[in-house]
Amino acid sequence: MLGFGDKALELYKMINPIEHSRTKETAQKYKVEPYVIAADIYGANNLAGRGGWTWYTGSSSWYYKTGIEYILGLHIKNKTLYINPCIPKEWKNYSIRYKYKNTLYNINIKNQDGKNTGVSKIVVDGENIDLTKGIILQENSGVINIEVEM
């Protein structure tokens, strides 16, 4: 939310359980499932690095929502799609495929200038759109191609 894309991804990865289980040594320290987000990770004494309280209700859905909305920048509100990424500067491009009803949205984000945030142009099926208005989601429009320039 502050626009620090590099830091956002760093913190996002810190929460990812697989990051605590990459080696046999770290997995033995973590001691919980590497595919479930722990509600807490101990930080003191002999328990430092150990995960606790896994299968916490809602934690994985919030983690997913954070990645999609606050890093990749895909927001949907009142059947309107908004794109506002906050990504690491070294990400030069990425794509999202989003399906709404019977419409597939192919979204390509280009970051050639190495920005963390800031969309300068959105083109929907060849037409520039107003950055402040968003994209009204269509129910039966086949494939819609969206190009986003940061």
> Could you name the CATH architecture of 80-149?
Sandwich (2.60)
The answer to whether the pTM exceeds 0.85 is: yes
- Give the separation between CA 51 and CA 40, rounded to whole angstroms: 6
- SS3 for 97? strand
Rounded CA gap, 126 and 67, in Å? 28
Q: Which pLDDT score is estimated for 40? A: 84
Q: How far is CA 84 from CA 36, 87, 138, in A?
A: 28, 10, 20
Strand partners, 146: 107, 124
pLDDT at 15: 87
Q: Which pLDDT belongs to residue 114?
A: 97
Taking the alpha carbons of 57, 58, 61, 63 in that order, is the dihedral positive or negative? negative
Hey, where are the domains in the chain?
1-71, 80-149
| Contact (CB, 8 A) for 54 and 32 | yes
Compute mean pLDDT per 10 residues along the chain, 150 residues long, and list them.
95 91 92 88 89 82 93 97 98 98 98 97 97 94 98
Give pLDDT, residue 10: 95
- pLDDT for position 103: 98
